[in-house]
Amino acid sequence: MAQAKSKETKNEYEDIPGTFVFNAERSRQGYGINMFCMSLMKDENRKAFKANEAEYLKKYNLTPEQTDAVLKRDYNRMLELGGNIYFTAKLGATDGHSFRHLAATMTGSTQDDYAKMMLEGGRSVEGNRSKSGKYDKPTRKAAAKPRAAAKSAKKSNSSKKRK
Amino acid sequence: MAKIIAGLASSHVPAIGAAIDNKQTEDPYWKRVFAGFEHTKKWMAETKPDVVIAIYNDHASAFSVELIPTFAIGCAAEFPPADEGWGPRPVPVVKGHPELASHIATSAILDGFDLTIVNKMEVDHGLTVPLNLAFGSPSAWPCPVIPIAVNVVQYPPPTGKRCFDLGRAIRKAVASYRDDLRVVVFGTGGMSHQISGPRAGLINSKFDKAFLDGLTKDPKKLAAMPHLEYMREAGAEGIELVMWHVMRGALDDKVKELYRFYTVPASNTAVGHIILQNGLKSSARRPIEKAAPRKKASATTSAKKLVSKIR
C-alpha cells in the first residue's frame, strides 16, 4: 500500500494544481461514495436519502471521513477521498444543483463570480498548469522542453504565426 | 457496401440538454450556442445518413464503478435515455442498428480490438446532446445510432493513438458490410473544461483551436499527444477529447473541413464543433452553403459558418 502510494505521487498529473485525478487508487478508495451516488439515479432512493441521510449512507460502508464529507456536501473532500465528479454530481442533482453550481462551490467562489468568470472566457491556464511551476513559466518555452508536450506547443506557435 | 461519408465532432455539455428540455434555447446565453449548430442541422437534413456511429462517454449512467469497459459497442435494438438524477431526458429512444453493430464488433475484435459488447444499455447526455445538436428535437431520431462508449471517467482512458486506430478498425468494418449504407461518425465530448476541484472553470481556447486545426490537417500527430497534456492544458475533463480521434481515424487521411464552430462558455465548458467530409469522391450530397475558409475561424464567442465549396 505504502509502495503503491509513493508510485502514485510520482505520476506527473499529481503536479496539476486544484485537481484530483480519478485513478485506480481513488476508485478503490471511493467505491462506496460512488456506489451511493449511483443509487441516487432512482427517484425512490433520492427520496429515501433525503428522508434520513445518515441512515441511508450506512448501507454503503463509507469511512467516517467520507460520511462526513457527504453530509456536509464538501465536494472537494469527496473527490479527495475517492469520489468522482460524474458520480457526486448525482448528489448535486438530488439537491437540485447543476454541474456549474457544484463547480463554483468547489472553487470557493460565489455563484455570481463563477458565472462571470466563465462568461469572460473561463479560468486561464496561465499560472494554473503545475504546482511545481515546471510548466508555468513562459508557456511555449516551458512546454517545448519535455518531448511529451512539444506538440501543442508547436501548434500554438504555428497558429500564432499564421495570424 | 457501406461507406463512411463524414465525421462530426461536438461537445456534449449536459446543460445544453437542460436548456433544450427547459425550452431556454432562445435565451441570449443559449442562443449563442445553438446558433452555431443551425448550419449543422441543415447539413444533416441534406446529408441524410443511413446510420450514425456515435463515439461518446457514459457519465456514470450505464456503467458505474462496478464495470468500466474501455471500449464498449452497443449492439441492442434500442437504448432508452438514462435518469441522470433529474429524471430521464424527454428525448426519443435511440434506435440501434444491431446488424451493423455486430458486424463492426466482429470485424474489430478479429482486427485486434477487444470491444465489450453491450446488449442492454441506457444512454445519457453524452450521446443524446450531440444528437439534439445535429438533428434538433424530432419526435423520433431520423436514423439508427450505434453507440460506442469510451471510458474517460477513470484514469487512464485509452490513448489517443489507440482511439485513432479504433477509428481505422471501424472504417474497415463498415467498408466490408454487405448493405449500401451511408454512415456518419460522431466524436463527442470536450473541448477544454474542468468541472472538478478548485481548478474548475479552466478553459484554454488556444489549445482548443490548435486541436481543431490538428484534427483536420495532421490527425496522426495530434493523436500522439499524451494524457498529461490534455489534463494540464485542457482541464481534467478535457481528456474527453481523445474520443474525437476515433471519429478522425474512421475518416480518410485527407478530409475537407466543411464547418467549424467554437464558443465559450456553455456552463463550465468550451463548446467546439467540426464537420469533416471524406474524400474528393465522397458520396455525400452537395453541400448547401459555403462560407469563408477554415483559417479565419477564431476562438471568439460568435457563431461562424465556415463551409468550403466542394470542388
Asked if B85 lies within 8 A of A40 by C-beta distance, the reply is: yes
Query: What is the per-residue pLDDT across B85-98, written as a single tens digit (0 to 9) for each?
Result: 778 999 999 999 99
Computed over every residue of chain A, the mean pLDDT equals 83
Q: B191 contacts in A (CB within 8 Å)?
A: none
Q: Both A103 and A148 in a single domain?
A: no
- Look up the CATH architecture of domain B3-296: 3-Layer(aba) Sandwich (3.40)
Asked if A151 lies within 8 A of B153 by C-beta distance, the reply is: no
Task: For an interface test with A, give the residue of B63, B218, B232 to mutate (most A CBs within 10 A).
Answer: B232
Residue A49 sits at the chain B interface (C-beta within 8 Å): no
> What distance in Å separates the CA atoms of residue B303 and residue B181, rounded to the nearest whole number?
32
Q: Both A61 and A8 in a single domain?
A: yes
Inter-CA distances, A134 with A61, A115, A149, A154, B88, Å: 40, 30, 12, 18, 44
Q: Both A102 and A132 in a single domain?
A: no
Asked if A84 lies within 8 A of B153 by C-beta distance, the reply is: yes
Q: Both A69 and A143 in a single domain?
A: no
> Angle A152-A156-A157 (CA atoms, 0-180°, nearest 5)?
115
**Average pLDDT score over residue span A112-138:** 91
pLDDT band (50, 70, 90) for residue B281: low
Q: Out of B192, B198, B206, name the one closest to residue A76 (CB).
A: B198
Residue A135 sits at the chain B interface (C-beta within 8 Å): yes
Q: What is the pLDDT of residue B228?
A: 96
* pTM to 2 decimal places: 0.87
Q: Both A18 and A43 in a single domain?
A: yes
Query: What is the per-residue pLDDT across B236-256, written as a single tens digit (0 to 9) for each?
Result: 999 999 999 999 999 999 999
Computed over every residue of chain B, the mean pLDDT equals 91
Asked if A34 lies within 8 A of B60 by C-beta distance, the reply is: yes
pLDDT band (50, 70, 90) for residue A133: confident
Query: What is the per-residue pLDDT across A49-95, written as a single tens digit (0 to 9) for each?
Result: 999 999 999 999 999 999 999 999 999 999 999 999 999 999 999 99
Q: Both A13 and A32 in a single domain?
A: yes
Inter-CA distances, A137 with A126, A127, A141, A152, A154, Å: 9, 8, 8, 16, 16
Q: Both A134 and A87 in a single domain?
A: no
Residue A116 sits at the chain B interface (C-beta within 8 Å): no
> What distance in Å separates the CA atoms of residue B63 and residue B122, rounded to the nearest whole number?
9
Q: Both A57 and A29 in a single domain?
A: yes
- Range of A62's domain? 2-119
Q: Both A102 and A137 in a single domain?
A: no
Nearest CA in chain B to A94: B85
Residue A155 sits at the chain B interface (C-beta within 8 Å): yes
Min Cα distance B101 → chain A (Å) is 27
**Average pLDDT score over residue span B54-81:** 97
CATH of the domain at A63: 1.10.700.10
Q: Both A69 and A85 in a single domain?
A: yes
Q: Both A25 and A103 in a single domain?
A: yes
Q: Is the pLDDT of residue A3 over 90?
A: no
Q: Both A18 and A61 in a single domain?
A: yes
Count of domains observed in chain A: 2
Q: B215 contacts in A (CB within 8 Å)?
A: none
pLDDT band (50, 70, 90) for residue A10: low
Give me B190's grid cell. 470536450
Q: What is the pLDDT of residue B279?
A: 77
Q: Would you please indicate which residues of B are annotated as catalytic (active-site) residues?
A: 125, 193
